[in-house]
Structure 1
Amino acid sequence: MNADQLPPAAPEVTATLVETLSPRLRKRLDAAVTKLGARPAHRDGDTVTIQVDDESELRLHAPGGVVARVEDITCGCLLAPACVHRAAAACAAPTADQATEPAEQPAPKTPEPTGATEPDAAAPQETASDAQRTAADALWAAGAAVLEAGVDGAGAVTQSALLRAAHTARLRRLPRAAAAALSVVTLLRAARTGDPSYRTADLVTALAELLGTARRVGTASGAELAAVCGRARRPYSPDGSLRLYGLFTEPVVTDSGHGGVRTWVAGGDGRLFTVGDVAPGGAGRALGVADRAVRLGDSALTHRELGRAGLAVSGATVSPDGRLGAGKGVKAVTARGAAWTEPPLAALWEAPPAEQAARALRAVSRYAEPDGGGSDLLFLDVELLGAVREPGGACLLARCAGGVPVRLTVADDDPALPHRDNLALLAAAPGTRLRIIGRLVPAPHPRLTLLACSHPTGEGTVDLGLDRLRRADLPDPKARVHLAPAQPAGSGAASPLYLLERRVEQTVPAGRAALGLLGDVTAEARRIRRGGLPTAADLLIALCAAAGRRERDLFGRLLPADTDGFAAHWLAAARYTAAVSEALCSAAWNPADAAPTGDAPTGGAPADDGPAPVSPPARAHAV
């Protein structure tokens, strides 16, 4: 049995079952979760049955797809209902976030105004209520406990405390902080089960978001408080009539088991919108959905066709992140599209790359405010230079306006999608000039994941995640992969910031105690100061000092560690490193800072059996 076979369990269900266990059973809970994962399970409608042993069965009843009540988990063993099996099943099941709107939900019909207002539509509060402050304090304490214990020590009991705090925060209208807590729980489970998609950097970001949001609840007011609280559901607001022009379609395949497509369109004023179809499934569903009709009005266009055609929409509804609603009041008919070189689409490529990168960086910032709007796409005219070797493989190097060298990587490494093959073929066409669309990758050097490009022959466009290029499409069909000249690593490559970053990341898997054993970090701090980052040096010293500080009472006994103080120092270091990394990324796109192209090759000749491999990106974790 694996977690995918179990229905999602509401956070309060898991928290309640764990809290009712005796102290003795809580100590056995992690082992029970592991043991339960090795037992066979089968689904029958809304019920999943797990064979605990030869005589006992455990049942999870999930009407509507979610285990919403404690009574929906039953066990047939002699100790039930006070047994450890029910809590273990809830801890093994994915966490349900029932208050969050699905990724591609049609916009509801706008209700008539009434005397009462919905909570999300109410006027912003001036300051947080006492109940909200209490809920935020509980979230802070639960997050600090995770940081204290590290991944290895943050078992089911620690996770249940986070789930309880998340449920309370949701009831107190703090959905942003509650969502961050659920993300931390999901990543902790992925780390403890050895999920290959888990990355420590993701858990660092989730923990910093949780702690930072919980801390700001008590100090924010007015509009800032509304942003800190967040929204439980994505609002769709009326946007009248829109004339839309298709740009491209990209497949969406996530580690959460969802698959589908997202089609990007632009309005006459240059605003970007998306029309998506994402549901449980993998790469196969993504490829199949691309040829299904778009769920928007009466249009008969498929997603592939919409990426090259146009739409006239009346009664449009749009979410803050640009998703088009598909409610009953929305009407859409097929219209003429526009080439990338024709207005109004051509204007997207006229903005300087540095300006586009700054805008995209605000959208992909690790701690961006929700509903901040903006797009992470860049529209560039480039000249291909060839493949460059990197530690993870190779990527395609191109030169954009101002002579800035840009590394282009695959958007998804799934072998069922043509991303990698297409990028490898483009590496065999140095000197080709293309108009491209890519997604910014925050890095100390200009870097994009390549999503779409103009056809190498100059006719039409290519959706690189759905369409397959052939050698006959290249200017020289017999061309081999070309290795571009060596490139400097970027303005931020020599920055000693990594000395602080690795200590921030080291805390997450090992906990505070491991950082406290480092001892003197004066040499590292001195090196950081020489690199022009005195604040980073001070943060490193303060972080390590807080990790190793343990007071004693009058009898010489160690007092409990100051988890709150250590969490505050860790949060400051995490947010600082993120801000500096984003500043280095923004500076790398400035033509004045772009380093000239070198002359030395990066390695030997490519192999005869095919193109050089292209380094994969990290796949998205949520729809």
Structure 2
Amino acid sequence: MSQDLPPVAPSVTAELVAALPPRLRKRLDAGVAKLAARPAVREGDTVRIAVDDETDIVLHAPGGTVTGADAIRCGCLLAPGCLHRAAAASAAPVADETPAPGPAGAPEARGEAGTRGDTGPAARTGRAEGIGTEAATAGQRAAAQAVFDAAAAVLEAGADGAGAVLQAELLRAAHTARLAGLPRAGAAAVSVVTGVRAARSADPGHRLAGLAGALADTLGTAHRLPHATGPELARLRGRARQPYRPDGSLRLYGLFCEPVLTATGYAGAVTWTADADGRLYTVSDVAPGGPARATGAADRAVRIGDTALTHRELSRAGLAVSGATVSPTGRLGAGAGVRAVRASGATWRAEPLEKLWAVPAAEQVARALDGGQDLLFLEVAVTGTVREAAGDCLLADCAGLTLRLATAHDDPALPCRDNLRLLAAAGDGRRRIVARLVPGPLPRALLLATEHPCDPGARVDLGLDRLQHADLPAGAVAPQPSAVPAGDRDAAAPLHLLRRRVHQAVSGGRRVLAFAGGGSGDGGRLRRLGLATGADLLDGLHAAAADRSRDAFGRLLPADTGRFARAWLAAAVYLDTVERALCVNAWETAAAGASSPDPARSAAAGP
């Protein structure tokens, strides 16, 4: 995937790949690799790629996105049915499709119950029977099945074997899902394609766990949607657009600003604010771009009212808004009727922001795991560093709990990693931080912002502000990273036996789990450790991977991709559920230990 090319709509890629004859489809992956290595020259809304001395491919992207197949032109003799156009679309990032506006007076396309388009047979049957809940239409069930089948084919091949043809099939299913009113399934399918492309191109930002999560979300949504009704159906459908509701006048206080850098080719900044009651609101500036845009967006003016505040300034100042509009996720709208002026801010240790840190950590974690805001407001003391496969992370004491703090972004253009190293040398003084929860068997979070090492009244945004040695206390020396404690390895080991098989399937496909004896012993170890359900799911996953029937002549029959996908999905859902339960238990145990008195200390104190 080349970030030098403009994003291409999923329907365009699917259309161009489907038009190729079989002999050209076999050469598509090689064509994508060749084009990705060629330089791209941007001239306004046009991007030109020189295939050779005589042939150019031109991508016309008005507004920054290629929205039609005619916008990709090639100068070779076989055009428009050539390989180059499909290869260019497959090498470009996937655009975030938005539904076209309907005719005047038509309801906005939304993925929630009660829209005018839900008049299919299933919905009418549910109302006729007096159930009082809505069911998916026949078109939505067919679209969900198409997404499931396409995602199952990608899982069957694995990221290593899911070439441009399989990706195009999943993009076609995603486009069909959006047209059927299933924006969540469509967006999840697009995220899988983006993750597969990042894996195949050895993108440094690729994370196998992220691709596995996207694939589980896609398969889970498509699998459950045909059987869902009522509120569950509305949640699985999702929303094509975020509705904004009036919220009157707001007095907001800046908290911090974080960069946004996604694998789909979008970048920018998001500033977090809070009102006097502790409710969180965001102001975002995200558009197609790379790391340079992520760092530059922080110095652009926020697009609310007539204020000239930049995102960096707003994170430390305040904002008075009248006629505010707010989305369900807390994002502030920038409509014509919104007015905003600069106001005074507040430090983290002053009202009203101080109340955010008064909520117990265990309660914040429970709220995040229940689908609420995933930000954690903690007070910690750095105790050292530990070396992990993905890099060093901080060890911090949080009310008696050993917490791991990792970077939110590993891109070298952002100062996250360098700031983390300097914070390790800043001493063990207690500081307030803002972090994002990472569910898992061990307490872990992504560090987003912290108080300044020498000035509690100041704050540092880890992804935007760059610390210097002069910001550290005199004589500060970074400690040497330590090995992973044995207790941590023991806590993570049982789930690791299942997690590595789930991730292996995502990377290498069915074939890596089909080897005889490939997972021998793992099921028994899980049972001995008390995870009998996990052991059964692991055995079922291996059985589904190895199940290949033969016909009367001994030839292999087509594999049952649906069975393997369902077995993998069951293991992934179980793994996620157990990890969340262990996450809650770890934070609650630490909270209970911190609140209970020390018997030895009580005895020493006497009556």
Q: Answer yes or no: same fold by TM over 0.5.
A: yes
Pairing 1:410–2:407 present: yes
Name the stretch that deviates more: 13-22 or 409-418: 409-418
Q: In the superposition, relative to structure 1, how do residues 554 and 375 fare at CA in structure 2: closer, same or farther (>3 Å)?
A: same
Q: Is the 8 A contact 1:450 1:464 kept in 2?
A: no
Kindly provide the CA deviation profile for residues 279-338 of structure 1, in whole angstroms up to 9, marking residues without a partner as x.
344444444443443322233333333222222211111112211111111112223333
TM-score norm. by structure 2 comes to 0.87
Where does residue 513 of structure 2 map in the other structure? Answer: 515
**SS in structure 2 of the partner of residue 551 of structure 1:** coil
Instruction: Specify the alignment match of 1:423 in structure 2.
Output: 420
Residue in 1 that maps onto 2:156: 148
Aligned-partner Cα distance in 2 for 1:292–1:187: 30
Tell me which protein shows more helix as a share of its residues.
2
Q: Alpha carbons of 1:290 and 1:554: their partners in 2 closer, same or farther (altered >3 Å)?
A: closer
Does 2:481 match 1:481?
no
TM norm structure 1: 0.84
Residue 222 of structure 1 corresponds to: 230
Deviation at 1:127, TM superposition (A): 0.7
Equivalent of residue 377 in structure 1, options 369, 375, 378: 375
Give, in whole Å, the separation in 2 of the partners of 1:433 and 1:497: 33
Give the Cα separation in 1 of the matches to 2:486 and 2:176: 50
When the two chains are superposed, the root-mean-square deviation of aligned CA atoms in Å is 2.8
1-side partners of 2:568 and 2:438: how far apart? 25
Shift of 1:51: 3.1
Q: Which moved more, 1:496-505 or 1:429-438?
A: 429-438
Structure 1 partner of 2:128:
none
* SS of residue matched to 1:197: coil
Query: Residues 151 and 215 of structure 2 are in contact (CA less than 8 Å); yes or no, is this contact kept in structure 1?
Result: yes
Q: Using the alignment, how far apart are the partners of 1:79 and 1:116 within structure 2?
A: 43
Q: Which residue of 322, 327, 352 maps to 1:319?
A: 327
What's the offset of the Cα at 1:414? 4.3
One-letter code aligned to 2:17: V
Aligned match of 2:398 = 400
CA contact (8 A) 1:471 1:477 kept: no
The structural deviation recorded for 1:40 is 4.7
Matches within 5 A, 1:264-283: 264-283=272-291
Alignment of 1:63-462 (within 5 A): 63-99=62-98, 116-120=106-110, 123=114, 126-363=134-371, 374-401=372-399, 403-462=400-459
Verify the 8 A CA contact 1:91 1:156 in the aligned structure 2.
yes
Aligned partners of 1:274 and 1:323 also within 8 Å: yes
CA contact (8 A) 1:143 1:207 kept: yes
Q: Which amino acid aligns with 2:46?
A: T
Instruction: Specify every segment of 5 or more residues in structure 2 that has no aligned partner in the other structure, as ranges.
Output: 119-133, 595-607
Please report how far the alpha carbon of residue 391 of structure 1 lies from its aligned counterpart in structure 2 after TM superposition. 4.9
% identical aligned pairs: 61
Give the whole-Å Cα distance in 2 for the aligned partners of 1:81 and 1:481. 60
Q: For 1:346 and 1:355, how far apart are their aligned partners in 2? A: 16
Compared with structure 1, are the counterparts of its residues 93 and 420 closer, same or farther at alpha carbon in structure 2 (3 Å cutoff)?
Answer: closer
CA distance in 1, matches of 2:233, 2:301: 41
Number of equivalenced pairs: 572
- The superposition leaves residues 21-61 of structure 1 with CA deviations (integer Å, 9 ceiling, x where unpaired) of 22222222222222333445433333333333444333333
Structure with bigger RCO (C-alpha 8 Å, 6+ apart): 1
Alpha-carbon distance between aligned partners in 2 of 1:224 and 1:74, rounded to the nearest angstrom = 44
Q: Does residue 58 in structure 1 map to residue 65 in structure 2?
A: no
Structure 1 position 30 matched with structure 2 position 49: no
Aligned mates of 1:59, 1:361 — CA distance in 2: 46
Q: Are the equivalent residues in 2 in contact too, given 1:145–1:158 (CA < 8 A)?
A: yes
Letter in 2 for 1:336: S
Judged with a 3 Å threshold, the aligned counterparts in structure 2 of structure 1 residues 413 and 516 are, in CA distance, closer, same or farther, namely closer
In structure 1, what is the Cα distance between the partners aligned to 2:413 and 2:37?
Answer: 30
| Alpha carbons 1:437, 1:450 under 8 Å: kept | yes
Distance change >3 Å, CA 524–CA 305, structure 1 → 2: same
Aligned partner of 2:532 among 531, 534, 540: 534
Query: Which segment is superposed worse, 412-421 or 353-362?
Result: 412-421
- 2:96 aligned counterpart, secondary structure: coil
Q: Does structure 2 retain, via aligned residues, the 8 Å contact 1:492–1:584?
A: no
Q: In structure 1, what is the Cα distance between the partners aligned to 2:57 and 2:12?
A: 16
Q: Is the 8 A contact 1:166 1:182 kept in 2?
A: yes
- What is the letter of the counterpart of residue 23 of structure 2? R
Aligned to 2:122: none
Which 10-residue stretch deviates more, 250-259 or 508-517?
A: 250-259
Contact between 1:422 and 1:464, CA under 8 Å: does it hold in 2? Answer: no
Alpha-carbon distance between aligned partners in 1 of 2:206 and 2:162, rounded to the nearest angstrom: 16
Hey, what's the Cα distance between the residues in 2 that align with 1:172 and 1:208?
21
The corresponding residue for 1:501 is 499
Counterpart position of 1:543: 541
**Separation in structure 1 between the aligned mates of residue 220 and residue 554 of structure 2, nearest angstrom:** 35
Listed as ranges, the gaps of 5+ residues in structure 1 are 102-107, 109-113, 364-373, 597-623
Distance 1:505 1:418 in 2: 29
Distance 1:461 1:309 in 2: 12
